[in-house]
Each structure stands twice: as structure tokens, then as C-alpha cells.
Structure 1
């Protein structure tokens, strides 16, 4: 088979298995077999980049870096809907529909209003060509690379009889489970928590690195088909077709021929919607017939044939019994309100988030207050206000502590930050145990058979004061402890030994540098390759790495400036852990850059920095870390370091653009 035939065969085969898995929850091959198909396709695509198909499944994992998003005019305006909050306004809407249709019979389609990000996805000849945000309804941002990472969205529609060009619209969202997982990691590395899934989804879709977007596992519910050609008579027909050809259409919609049926649908889902994997904030009611929609037309801002009913935010009142303070792994102090149990959104709520000292002050919380608790778009309930009419003089104001509740160390609050921290990271028990718990987790060192309870026991017995102590554990240290038998001890020691094979990117995440999550650790290890190079990196070198800003760079420098941290790394190295990144084998493409050296700086339109490095080496060139007289070219993208450009110009080193670079490859 020719390279194109091989790429076509692999692309079709992988897309078929993706569809089976994500849309039908079925599998015909093992995960290993699937991964091998993907490895073969990637290798071919790297060798023959001009043959990559638009619907290639390799787009699912991202990798495109966008320095900015192009503004695109919508083919069909994305109008907003009129909102209503009560039954009478819906009855009034129905009355207007009756008058507008002059006595004709009509049907409504009722759909849940998902709390996410409205997106328009364009297809041409069945292949996805663009993904666009709503924007102002007339123009939106082209975020195609990010939209392609949504695994439930077909990259190619496997059907006949559809128009050459069509568009689907729907709601991009972050499933609640993904949102909670992201916040757990952010809390773990000392980042501020994301406010709610909707904001998190919106921020993710506008990220510049699509590989990061892919890891967040966004999803997409399609609810509209659009085309210049008339394809369907009713919205119901279009939904059935969209579902049949592989689009993710929520099965929650219903058809009703009376407004009373619509009201019943609204009532049915008021509580039931909390069982869904995403947040909802209402119901959308649409006329089913497209011909009748044309007849009813539009106002200046919204269609006359559709309306949105918004549920009121879930709220309850209860008593604030106390406020407790939790100490996280990074020393962050989180206040938690302990409440008199109250039923809210189908669950009994006993605790609520208060976030920080600013929020306590803003709410003017007193122990014994009657407080309003709301869920709304939040996963964790939060206190929104105090019922001041029930406040008595005897109630005592909540005072944020000055000392750590665990070790009595004076708390600090860094300028520009809302949170308080305990600086005693080497002596505060929750921080010490938290660091070990972080170290052993699956995404870090993946040490099995050890959990929080075991860590607590070993800490209490004096066996664990640092993750490095894990590698000093011996059978006889644990033997005789209550609850630890021969097999469990051997399993623990075996898991620790196995962790020595974990790759450098996970080791870097595991050691617990503040603000260095799994994705940042992966970028750092791919860029610097060794722990020595990273530990010696200057601020200027660090911020050149994609996704590394001022805060992360300063945190890394501070970490390696600490003698105890350097000693900790040395102990791990002595134990035999992996502290070097072995890059993937370079597939030779040609010798156009043979004998030429490059320094890469900035953000590029067609490549990530790591991709550029591979491209240069695949064509015979070398990539250096710093500008010197020996350097041939400074490859400067958007936001390239001004100091590097200035130094290159002084030394007479050629500064070239991405376009210049591509031209060199064509020679």
C-alpha cells in the first residue's frame, strides 16, 4: 500500500473504534491494540505531513499552539433566547405563538438548557473544518484545534445524503467528574480552585495549547442542525438524524403538543436534572416545525419561536454552627462552614465553602447566624448571605486564625493573594503527610498498597517524615505493626521498588514544587531533559517554556534554592529514581538544516516548541539553549524574548521568522 492508502486505512479504522467506544460504549479491540494503531498512524503522519487528513484521530490529543484566535463571522447569527422565570410568562409565550400561527396546530420540542459554552461546528463534505465560539452572536473565535479534541464529536460524518456544507451547534461542557478532578489537582499543587464547571469550560476552550485542552476531557451535546439547503421538515427529524450519524445528542429532550405538556416537562426535570453529569440551569422550548419557525420569524434580538425557562438557583437557609480550618499540602488554609444539616438540591448539606478570610469578612459571619446556602453552578454548596433579621447581639463574629490550627505557626498572607498559608512546610503534620500522599498518587509515583491511613500510621511511628523515607523502609521496620501481615508488607515494598521505573515527568510532578502540576511537569522535563538542567535554569530560561509564567518560574527557582530540597532530590537520585527525559527517537526527514544551529524563542503558529525542536533535528540541525557567537539562527516567534533578540543582533546572529524557517526546509 502507498503511504496515503496506509494513512487512510489507519485513520478510518481508529475513527471507527473511537465511535464505538465513545458513542456506543462498545469495544472490539484491546486498549493495547488501539494504542498500537495510533502509534503507526502518528509515525506515518510525521513522515508524510502533507498526507494528514482533516479527520485524523491524532487531532484528538491536541498539540497545536495558537498565539491568537482568528475572528470568524457566523454563517447564521447565533442569537440569544428570551428568558422567563415563571409559568405565566410561558403561557403568554404560547399565546403569542397561537396568534402568530393563526390557528394552526403546532408542537414544541423541550430540551434541557445545559450550563456550558455555546459552540458552532462547521462541516464540509462530511469533514469538520471549523469550531467557533458564540462570541457576540455575529462573530466568534476560531478554536478548531481545541474543538477537535472532544472525543464525542465526529471528525468525519459517516453518512450519505447530507449537504456539502452544514453546521451543528451545541453546548461544550466540562463534566462534573472532570471538574472535580481538575480542582483536586489544583488544590494539590497550590493553585486557586476553579469557580464552577461553566467558567472552567470557557477558559479551557480558549487555551492556546490544545494538548492541555485534550487532557481536560471536555464534552459536547449537539442540539441544532443548520444548512443553506432544506434537509428536514422538523427539529425532531434533525435530532434523530444527528444521533444516527454519531453526534452526541442528549436523550433528555421530549416533544409536546400543548403548553401544559411543556410545564410538566419543566416540573419533571427540576429535581431530576441533578442526576446528570453536567450542570443545567433551565429548559429551552422550541417550535418543532421549521416552516412554522419561518412564519413566526424573529425580533431584533431573538427568535419568536423559542424561549428559555430558567430555574431559580437552589437555595436553603440553615444555621452556621462553626467554622473549621483545613491545612493543605502546600500550607493553604481553607475555612469550611459547618452547618446544621439541611436538604438542598436533593442532598443533605452539612458543610459549605467559605473560600478565604476575605469572604468571611464580606459576609460578616457570626457563629449561630442563619445563613443562605446555594448550589447554583457550584459543585460544593456555598454561603451566599446572612439573614441579618435573625442576628442577635450575643452571636460572636468569626475570626480568621493568626496561627496554624495544626502546628501553631504564625500564618502568612502574600501580597496580591487572598489565601493564608502556614510557612512551616517542614514541620506541620498535615503538610508533611499531604506531600507524601501527593507523592504516591497514581499520576505521580503510582505507589500501590499505601494510602492515607498507612501514611498516617508510618508518620506517627516515625518511619516517614519525607517521601524520600519510603526508599529506606525495610521489612523489619513494618513487621509486627497492627494490621500489617507478611503479604501486605511485601506488596508495599514491591510498590515502592517499582516506582523507581516511573518516568521523569511524573517524578517531577511527585516531588511537589508549588504550582507545578502534571502538565507543567511534562513540559519542563521535555524542555530541560534533566533535573540538573532544570535546577540551574534561570528565570529567563524558565519563562521561555510554554505555559510557564512568572509565578511558576519563581516557585521553581525558590524550590531549588532551598538546601533541604536539594538534599531531598539527592536522596531520590541515590535511591535510583528517573531524573532524565529520554526524547522520542527522531525520524530523519532530510538534511536541509545540516550543520546549522538554532535557538527557539516565542510562540509559533504551526508548531509547538517541542515540535520545532524535533523538526530541526529531523532535518539535520541542532537546537541550542542560549545565544552565542557560535549560533547560526535565532528562530523568533510571537512574544520572543527581547533580550535574546537584542543579544543575537549584537553578535550578528541571524534572527529568522517561522516563515523563513519553513522556507529553509523547502530548499
Structure 2
């Protein structure tokens, strides 16, 4: 393909993918399959890598991330992001209404909107192109999170309408949909990580992550609710909402025009229960005077506008009896206490159970069986006990003592220093751990073995046919046909699924193996970095810490896993079964041979590259990236916070160390 052909194809793909994106997120229409969409995006990314000069500002390749941000630059807001006055009282709403009437009379209307529970964001567009996204911060200045916001697919990278001002700003709420929040927590629970507290905190933490690739995988979303700029030719907030929706922004249809405060009250009452049916968290209602000129007359206090107020719903709390505590054992051996409650209505649903998290929480709350407890929904999703009504505590009640032995197998529990969770160490003999590991191994993100579900796992375990995932590959047609309710077709489906799993990529196998703290994303990073299971098994703690996004806890978890003989035997059995234990080598499209015969080690954190992208650049230009420093090494590319042992060894051997800027100059 010539340069001109590549340029035309990049333009064609950019336009086509943006069109499909717009159809999906603005009109809820899927014109092509996910597979076809991904293939188009993959082709675009490859072409842009080969011809970076032709990459457009609104390229949809930015949606998948790849930018590493070490520090988030401070940005001063052109228009301060003021906070709103809050109230939980209808009387104070009426007082607000009276103040408005006193200033502008009775000829006005309100716009009532749901107050979404997320992260306030200011997004600036120049000539229709997204230029900058900034968090609220202290209202005067915030953090530049542009690279992360560009991964949010419902936020346009380019406005297609011709009727737009050269410079404008939209305000919106970035949030984590409840489905995404629950999926993240399910995976965190599965790999032994503490659960995220609520969607708002999760959204806030995600938008400040250094690696925009991880941000893209979290699938954040955004509702836009405001428009600011010069000479906008818009007279009211309602007109602004209509305009920004026409421009392709995601505007919630839940807002309503209200001719007086009584209609506002009706809107508040309507959504008090209806909000629990929404796919995101809400914590109240925002009420604004609609007309912009009337807003100007009302003006501002030092901290908030006088023409708007937020009505906050009181946390939905119920009072009920704590009947018992049961202890659940997960795949990693983590023991989680769960409270069984006298059923009570809460936030539109009947609650029978609530999370107690760990022994520390039981002690903090001083929980006792028979207590009357207060229950709330954390983030309006997960029921949790928040307190005890001591006035109703039964006489002679006894504090709950956390169990010392596993409730399933009787093994004494352990608790690592610095961790709140108790663990059962009997991973080879504890039934829920064994079955949990099997269910983890067969799931879609891991080996994706069709024909086996949780019921089949129960049967296989009960019959003694499977005690760890490697035993699955010893199953035969005869063994399966002897199972209850199993016929020829079911047995063949499982055998076919097992055979197909032998072609699943190494990153999926690594995730399926079930190393504590190694989730789907971490498994992919480890597979890309070490390339095969043997290199990973030999990796030291320091070498693991060199991998982007791999913290001390994950590195220690990997080292401890491979230190155990039984795990090494398990891996050998999977190898013997024929599973993929090595990443497929990528086809390298060479740019030049300037690094031919040269070896590099990459260490530290970089401003404009991820370590993977530096490695890719080295290889595309004929060089080779190695993991350890020796006297034969040509270059150490040194970023910030590089490993001290690597630095010391490089200095001792006199290795040529280069900075990120020097590496970029070498490429030129």
C-alpha cells in the first residue's frame, strides 16, 4: 500500500468507525457485528502505527487507550465549576422558590434533572474537535484527564454539525454503569482483591488511572448537562440541552420542564423510587431556573449559583433483626461473613442478606446475634449494615467471635499481616475452593469450555473425577456417560469443548490458572511481557515489578504461586494436555533497521510511551528487547522510578543509559 493509499484508507476507516459509533451510542442501533467493528478498528490502528502522520485528531483508535500519564497537569477553568447548595427538605425548596420569586417575579419556569452520582467533568472543543477534559477539582482548577476521557465512547471526539461555535465547553457527569461496576467487583472478588465501595468512587479512581488502556476497559459513560461559551445564541437551559443532544452528546431524557415548585415536587416524588430502575447511581435532583437572562439577574454567591439548588434524597435505611452470620469461602480461600436478616423492604427490593466484609467490621460495629441493625444500600446497590440500635439490644447478648476454622473443611484460618481478610489455606482439600477454581477455569474469559456449567462441576467433583482443572483433560467419553442425566450428546459436547480450549491464547490460560490477584487485565500484561509460562515462573519479584501496572501485592502473589511444587506440577499437566503456554509471536512490520544488532532493556515509567510501545518501536526498527542487564547490553532506556538494582548493575557495567527524549531522537 502506498502512502497516499494508506492516507485515504485511514480517512475512510476513521469516518466509517465514527459513524458506527454514533449509530450505536446516539441512536441505539447496531449496524454491524462487534466482530466486524473490531476488525475495522484493528486495521485502522495498524495503519496509524505505520503512518502516524496521517492519524486524525478524531481517530477512534483513541477509544482503546494506550497513553500513559505520569502526572495530571493542573488546568484553570475558564468558567469556574461552582458547587450547588444542597437540601434534604421540601420546606427549604419552598424557601428557595420564594427567594427566586422575590428577585424575578413569577413569570419563569424550572428545569428539573436527575443528579447523577459520578465525577463532574468540563470538556472543551475547538473547531468541533475535543481538545481538553478537566475534572472539577476545587472548582477553580482541576486535573487534565483528556487521554482518559477520550476512551469514553459516548463522548464525541469530533462534532459533525456545521452550526457550532469555534470554541465551547460542555459540562457532564462521568459515571460507571452499574453493570460495569458489578462485573469489576465480581472479578475482584474472584481474584482475591477487596471490592470497590460504590460506583462513584470507582468512577473517580478510574478517571485518574495512569494507563488509559485500563480506563477504556472499564467502560465509563457520561451524561452531558451543560453548555458554556461566547455568542452561543441560546436563551435557556432547555435550549442548551436540545442543542448538545443535536451535536451528538449523551443527554439523559429524564429532565423535565416545571412551571412551578409544585411540579418540581411531583418530579422529586416520581423519581424517589423510579431512580432505582436506572442503569447508574443517583443521589438527588437538580433544580435550575430555565431562562439564562433570569439566571443572570439572580446571580451567584461566593460558592454557588442563586438560580439552582440540589435536592438530595435521604439514604434509604431500614431497621431489621440480625438473625445469624454465615461464612462463605471463595475460590482463593477468602472467607467472607454474610449477615442473614429478617427480610425487610429497602430501596425498592426485599433484603434478606447484607455484607459485613470482614472481622474488623464485625468488631467495629460490635455486632451481636439478635441485634436490631440499620441497613443501607452502599452506592444503592450492595446492602450493608451501618449500625446497631443499642436501645433494642437483647439482655445478655454476646459479641460475635469470628470463626477460627474453615466452615467447609475445618482447616485453621490464616490472616496475613496488613490484610483484613481471613483465608483457608487448604486449597487442595476445601470443596468450595476446588469447585471455585474449576468454575473460574472454564469461564468465558479464561478457557471458555462449552458444555460445562456449575452443575456439571458439582457432579464431576462429587464423583471424584476432577479435583483440579488439569483433571478435566483426563475425562473420557465413558466417564462422562456414567454421570446422571448425561447422554452421548452432552459427553461429546464437553470433550469437544475441552479440545477447543487447547487453542485458547496463553493470556486466557494464565488468567484461568487462577493466581491470586491476577485478573484478566493483569494476565494479559504478564503474557505480553514474559511471552511464556516458563519465563514467568522464573521471574523474580523485581522483574515482575518492572511490568507496567504490576504492584507489590501482585508480584508477591505470582512469586509465591510458582514457589509451590504442587502448582508447578499442575502447570506441567496443563502443558502435557496441550494448552497454549506461549504467546503467539506478533508479526513485526519493520520501519527501519537503525537498531539492527542492538539490545535494549526498558525500565521505569515514561511520559509519552508505555513500556510495551517502546518495546514495539525497538523491534520495528530492528532491535531486540531483553529483560536482564549484562555486559553485552547496548542500551538501558531509563524512565522515572526505575528499579534500583537495575540502575546499580548498569552503572557498575558501564551500560549506556538513555532517556525517553534521547530514544525519540534516535528514532528520528
Same topology, TM > 0.5: yes
Cα shift at 1:160: 1.4
1:52 correspondence with 2:51? no
Secondary structure of the residue aligned to 1:46 is helix
| Contact 2:459/2:483, CA 8 A, preserved across alignment | no
- Tell me by how many angstroms 1:3 deviates: 3.0
1:20 aligns with 2:23: yes
**Residue 315 of structure 1 contacts residue 374 of structure 1 at CA under 8 Å; is this kept in 2?**
yes
Determine whether 1:91 maps to 2:91: no
The alignment covers a number of residue pairs equal to: 665
Pair 1:10-2:13 in alignment: yes
Q: 2-side partners of 1:656 and 1:50: how far apart?
A: 25
Q: Does 1:68 align with 2:71?
A: yes
Say what the alpha-carbon RMSD is for the aligned residues.
1.1
**What SS is found at the alignment partner of 1:400?**
coil
Q: Which residue of 2 aligns with 1:157?
A: 159
CA distance in 2, matches of 1:208, 1:346: 38
Question: Is 2:549 the counterpart of 1:554?
Answer: no
For residues 178-327 of structure 1, the aligned pairs below 5 Å read 178-327=180-329
**Aligned residues of 2:284 and 2:310 also touching (Cα < 8 A):** yes
- Residues 313 and 376 of structure 1 are in contact (CA less than 8 Å); yes or no, is this contact kept in structure 2? no
Residue 441 of structure 2 aligns with which residue? 439
Shift of residue 2, structure 1, vs aligned partner: 4.1
Partner of 1:567 in structure 2?
A: 569
Conservation of the 8 A alpha-carbon contact between 2:85 and 2:309? yes
1-side partners of 2:231 and 2:596: how far apart? 54
For 1:279 and 1:31, the matched residues in 2 are separated by 27
**Cα pair distance change 1:104/1:314, threshold 3 Å:** closer
Secondary structure of the corresponding residue to residue 600 of structure 1: strand
Contact 1:54–1:129 (8 Å) recurs in 2? no
For structure 1, which runs of at least 5 residues remain unmatched after alignment?
Answer: none
Q: How does 1:466-505 map to 2 (within 5 A)?
A: 466-505=468-507
29-38 vs 234-243, greater mean Cα deviation: 29-38
Give the whole-Å Cα distance in 2 for the aligned partners of 1:269 and 1:357: 37
What is the deviation of 1:141? 0.9
Q: Using the alignment, how far apart are the partners of 1:512 and 1:5 within structure 2?
A: 45
Q: CA deviation at 1:5?
A: 2.6
Q: Quick one: distance in 2 between partners of 1:292 and 1:264?
A: 23
The 8 Å contact of residues 635 and 656 in structure 2, kept in 1 or not, is answered as yes
* Equivalent pair of 2:347/2:380 in contact (CA under 8 Å): no
The answer on whether the counterparts of 1:195 and 1:378 sit within 8 Å (CA) in structure 2 is: no
- Deviation (angstroms), 1:615: 0.5
SS in 2 for 1:375: strand
CA contact (8 A) 1:330 1:431 kept: yes
The 8 Å contact of residues 601 and 641 in structure 1, kept in 2 or not, is answered as: yes
Paired position in structure 2 for 1:78? 81
Normalised TM-score (structure 1): 0.98
1:612 Cα deviation (Å)? Answer: 0.7
Match of 1:456 in 2: 458
User: Following TM superposition, by how much is the alpha carbon of 1:594 offset from its aligned partner in structure 2, in angstroms?
Assistant: 2.6
Tell me the residue number matched to 1:166: 168
Determine helix, strand or coil for the equivalent of 1:67: coil
**Which residue number in structure 2 is paired with residue 374 of structure 1?**
376
Stretch moving more, 480-489 or 198-207: 480-489
> Which residue of structure 1 lines up, in the alignment, with residue 409 of structure 2?
407
Candidates 42, 46, 53, aligned match of 2:45: 42
Larger displacement relative to structure 2 (580-589 or 313-322): 580-589
- TM-score normalized by the length of structure 2: 0.98
Measured in 1, the distance between the counterparts of 2:630 and 2:461 equals 51
Kept in 1: contact 2:370–2:394 (CA 8 A): no
Contact 2:121/2:133 (<8 A) preserved: yes
Partner deviation per Cα, 1:325-354 (whole Å, 9 max, x = no partner): 000011111010001111111100000111
- Using the alignment, how far apart are the partners of 1:2 and 1:559 within structure 2? 50
CA–CA distance in structure 2, aligned partners of residues 480 and 332 of structure 1: 34
> What is the aligned partner in structure 1 of residue 150 from structure 2?
148
Report what 2:113 is aligned to.
Answer: 111
